[in-house]
Amino acid sequence: MQHHLYADAHTRDAALASAPYGMFICTADGTFDAVNAAFEKLTGFAADELLGTRSFESLLDPAELAKRRAELPPLAAIGARYEGEWTSVRRNGTTIRVVLALAPLVTDSAQTGTVLVGEPARYVGIVIDMTRYALSEARLWYVAHHDGVTRLPNQTLFTERLDMMIERCARNGNGFSVVIAELDHLRKLRDALGLHAAELVLQIVGERLRGLFPNDGTIASISGTQFALLINESGAAAETFATEALGRIAESIDCGGTALNITASIGIVAYPADGADAPTLMRRAGVALSAASAVHGNAVRRFSTALEGQAARRFELERMLREALERQQLHLVYQPQVTLSNGRIAQVETLLRWNHPQRGLISPVEFVPVAEEAGLIETIGEWVIRTACRDAGKLLRLTGNLPRVAVNVSPQQFQRQNLFETIRSALEDAALDPSYLEVEITEGVLLGDTELALQTLHSLRELGVEVALDDFGTGYSSLAYLTRFPLNRLKIDRSFVMRMNTDPQCEALVGAIIAMAHALKLRVTAEGVETAEQAAQLEALGCDEAQGFWFSRPITVAALCNLLKPLGAV
């Protein structure tokens, strides 16, 4: 098949003028018949110096043409297309490497649509500057191998350099470390201050980390929040380096007059002790990084087989947990909260339990963090709310007596816009009056989206649902929370109750919390009461309610029904 280029005079002129590269048309003997501006600029010759007087071969390097004459076919012998690399001589005598392409040009009549008989043969030539082509290739390589925000190497280039480092160290017997640093809470900063602020932080942190290398080192931006570094140190020296990196990252950043304090989590893995290939090293560095992030950031962790075992356990737990949700293996138990003055049950706290058919009971301390990491806590939380309301409705109909049912709501659930609607519809489906329900929150709810939390809590209070603040005293415990948020009750954490007998200051602190809460018209419940002495101390301090093994262990809904029946009959 022939691939001639057909064009009328108008199309030919338009193509010449618009082409971004050098282009010419020549006669059968190679004499220039037309050239475009790009060709003039490339060669340095003006059109009137070329047309009708010079051939395209006259612009090729004579010495190279003499050596390679056989590689350049006569124009008449070009059936479809010729392409080759040549050295061209510019008007000022300098040379330039070019790609030369030639093809026959057949002129077509615009009026008849037929080839004009006797029309002289013409050929079209294209000349591309190899220097510019090489620069374009280099730009494409740079874009493909560097992060657009920080201008640091990206994961592709980092992996290539890691492979080279492994090969070199395998030959010379040296070791090195891979350090992965992830900025904590960068997403929250971006949401609060915008994308520009987040990118500024990434750029500044990247420069600070680059400055840790006395010579050329390998640092890369491997994700939106992570940096990877290759360092020659290992062991304690690598940890020292990582600690220094944490300090550099933590230095305040001025963002339009706002001082930003950034923290990071760092994972370290060593070659060859922790892996002999790039995929293994990167995976295990991620395991160490996850362990550092699990302690709420600003921490360094080295890889160990124990950490890998924990990661495998978390992965297996996540798989099992998803299966448990499908097979309805989760269930609820209820622990009474007793009024100290009269011994009556004031509330029952809903507690989540998982009884695996092969592994038996799995503690919430173990599986709830996995559910949070896996994004399952919202699904589980909604199931708990609906199941607790359904159980409560049945208990009320069976016994005629029902204490308030307290349900724990996680910070992740509060981040959803539909939490209020979920609770309202659960109450409606169970035909349960909202006054029988209480939501227990932690300070983590109040430290997130404060306005959304406030709106949801006020809506719940207006509906008739009560609100308790759990684990009071273990976090920030800001008094502003107690005055700003619509709370009904404080729960004193079990760690204070356990130390009351042996630590007078702890007993004084519990008394102060109770007095403060009562001044704010809040009820107080103490958790973890396990002895009669603790119950007596709390009652003497004016505590309203207590919860713990001294009164009752968590019980099933059936056992709770039996416990409430006599009370309902009184």
Of the residues 137, 172, 203, the one at which a domain ends: 137
Calculate the CA 335 to chain-centre distance. 38
pLDDT reported for residue 106:
66
Same domain, 127 and 153: no
For range 106-121, the mean pLDDT: 50
Calculate the CA 57 to chain-centre distance. 59
Phi, psi of 479 (to 5 degrees): -65, -25
Whole-Å CA distances, 476 to 84, 452, 479, 480: 73, 20, 9, 10
pLDDT(466) > 50: yes
Quick one: residue 401, left, alpha or beta (phi over 0 = left, psi -120 to 50 = alpha)?
beta
- On whether residue 314 sits in a domain, the answer given is no
For range 348-357, the mean pLDDT: 89
Q: pLDDT confidence of 140, banded at 50, 70, 90?
A: confident
For range 46-54, the mean pLDDT: 95
Same domain, 329 and 394: yes
* Count of Cβ atoms closer than 10 Å to residue 27 Cβ: 15
Same domain, 85 and 203: no
Of the residues 116, 137, 158, the one at which a domain ends: 137
pLDDT reported for residue 570:
34
- On whether residue 313 sits in a domain, the answer given is no
pLDDT(41) > 50: yes
Lowest mean pLDDT, pick from 390-404, 411-425, 507-521: 411-425
For range 320-331, the mean pLDDT: 85
Q: Identify the three-state secondary structure at position 391.
A: helix
Give the span between the Cα atoms of 248 and 262, in whole angstroms.
10
For range 548-570, the mean pLDDT: 80
pLDDT(109) > 50: no
Span 238-278, pLDDT tens digits? 889 999 998 898 888 888 777 888 888 999 999 998 888 99
Same domain, 343 and 472: yes
pLDDT reported for residue 428:
93
For range 494-520, the mean pLDDT: 89
For range 192-209, the mean pLDDT: 86
* Count of Cβ atoms closer than 10 Å to residue 413 Cβ: 23
Q: pLDDT confidence of 215, banded at 50, 70, 90?
A: low
pLDDT reported for residue 361:
84
Same domain, 60 and 80: yes
pLDDT(110) > 50: no
Token representation of residue 79: 């059936």
> In which domain, by residue range, is 286 found?
147-303
Q: Supply the CATH number for residue 168's domain.
A: 3.30.70.270
- Per the confidence metrics, is the pTM higher than 0.75? no
- On whether residue 142 sits in a domain, the answer given is no
pLDDT reported for residue 115:
40
pLDDT reported for residue 4:
42
For range 51-56, the mean pLDDT: 95
pLDDT reported for residue 102:
93
pLDDT reported for residue 114:
40
Of the residues 277, 303, 329, the one at which a domain ends: 303
* Count of Cβ atoms closer than 10 Å to residue 131 Cβ: 11
Same domain, 55 and 168: no
What lies within 8 Å, CB to CB, of 240 at 6+ separation is: 233
- On whether residue 327 sits in a domain, the answer given is yes
Cβ-contact 206, 150 below 8 angstroms = yes
pLDDT reported for residue 545:
93
- On whether residue 312 sits in a domain, the answer given is no
Same domain, 344 and 375: yes
Same domain, 23 and 52: yes
Give the span between the Cα atoms of 90 and 127, in whole angstroms.
13
pLDDT(537) > 60: yes
pLDDT reported for residue 217:
64
Lowest mean pLDDT, pick from 291-300, 377-386, 422-431: 291-300
Closest CA relative to residue 270, chosen from 326, 328, 230:
230
Q: Is 288 exposed, middle or buried (0-12, 13-18, 19+ CB in 10 A)?
A: buried
pLDDT reported for residue 8:
55
Per the structure, the count of domains in the chain is 3
pLDDT(544) > 80: yes
pLDDT reported for residue 214:
59
In eight-state DSSP terms, residue 153 is B
Token representation of residue 366: 């173990």
Calculate the CA 305 to chain-centre distance. 25
pLDDT reported for residue 119:
62
Same domain, 115 and 168: no
Token representation of residue 46: 């003006």
